[in-house]
Amino acid sequence: MAFDLLPSLRPRVRHGVVRVHVARKWEFHGGTDDGPITHLDLVLVDEKGNSMYGEIPIEEVERKSPLLEEGGVYVIRRFRVSNAKATFMPMPGNYIIEFTYYTLIEPVVDNAVSIPHLVYHLTPFGDLAQRAGIYSRFTDIIGVLVEVSETKVVHPSGKAVPTITRDITIRDLSYSEMKVTLWGNRASAFTLDGVYDPNEAKPIIVLLVGTLAKNYQGQVYLSANAACRWYFNPEILEANPFYSRYKICFIATHGTAEAEMVCFGDVAGRIVGKPFQQVMRATRPSEDFPPDIAAIVSLRFTFAIVLTDQSFDKPDKSF
């Protein structure tokens, strides 16, 4: 049968039937992780990549939530199309899908059904200050993960009980950095297991969605609660510039000691003095190293070294 695409839905359109992928699913507890649930939120995607916010009201959560899994594909009918909310929207849009007592949900088991699973609307780091304190829509960013802190227990003012947090730092292509504070379950769920290999020193690209931009004592940062999701090394066009860049590993000495160093991107480009693409075009298959890379051996440089917590995890330091 033919299914309605999400952009065709309007409040006056009756009897709509959609086939969608549940890209994200989270419970809204009114700003706390342990308060009473007020509604269940969904990000739905159709086969053309169109997305729409869906909401299950509190009186239907117990019945409808077990029927929907994040990552699943479903045919949904007998829903209500309403005007968009004024706050906490995961994407731009004028309308939302509201589940009712009469809404029918049917899982799709056909493996041939292919629907995009990533939904994001990226905000450049330079625009985050303008979004601080504006909660009409969540904020999505992409960058290189440069630091991950341990979890810690905090007791925010106005909260009844303490919670745990974890700070991560993400860097964009212009080397601007942004702190992201993960709260509660999001802080404990964040892990690099299966992603980070200290022997490879590979940059980790992270797409972070569902955050809120805030300002604390003049510093802009991102706050991540239940709506937040992260995707490591995503296969999307916006991630390609982070991959097609320099990575140079070398041993540096100042006469009394040696240290292993790794540099990426613009820093490596300044050392070599030529764009990455030009260096690769000048390289012959028979050469072990590109001539432009080999030419920097024995040259003298001054480096400003930044140490992270991970720098102290190994007896042999790598900077």
Overall residue count recorded for the chain in this entry:
319
- Residue 108: per-residue pLDDT: 94
Distance CA 117, CA 23 (A): 5
- Tokens 């009469």 appear where? 102
- Residue 162: per-residue pLDDT: 86
- Residue 141: per-residue pLDDT: 98
Assign domain 6-107 one CATH number from 3.30.1280.10, 2.40.50.140, 3.40.50.720, 3.30.930.10.
Answer: 2.40.50.140
Distance CA 272, CA 275 (A): 8
Would you kindly state where each structural domain of the chain is located, as residue ranges?
6-107, 125-241, 245-312
- Residue 125: per-residue pLDDT: 96
Determine contact, residues 291/298, Cβ cutoff 8 Å.
Answer: no
- Residue 262: per-residue pLDDT: 78
Determine contact, residues 165/112, Cβ cutoff 8 Å.
Answer: no
Walking along the chain (319 residues) 10 residues at a time, the average pLDDT comes out as 92 90 93 80 96 97 97 96 95 96 94 86 96 94 94 81 92 90 94 81 89 93 96 93 75 83 74 70 68 82 69 60
Q: 57 - beta bridge partners? A: 39
Determine contact, residues 165/157, Cβ cutoff 8 Å.
Answer: no
State in words which class domain 125-241 has.
mainly beta
Question: Which residues 6+ apart lie within 8 Å of 85 measured at CB?
Answer: 53, 55, 96
Check if 6-107 and 125-241 are the same fold.
yes
- Residue 149: per-residue pLDDT: 93
Alpha helices in 169-314 (DSSP H): 185-189, 240-243, 265-272, 276-281, 291-294
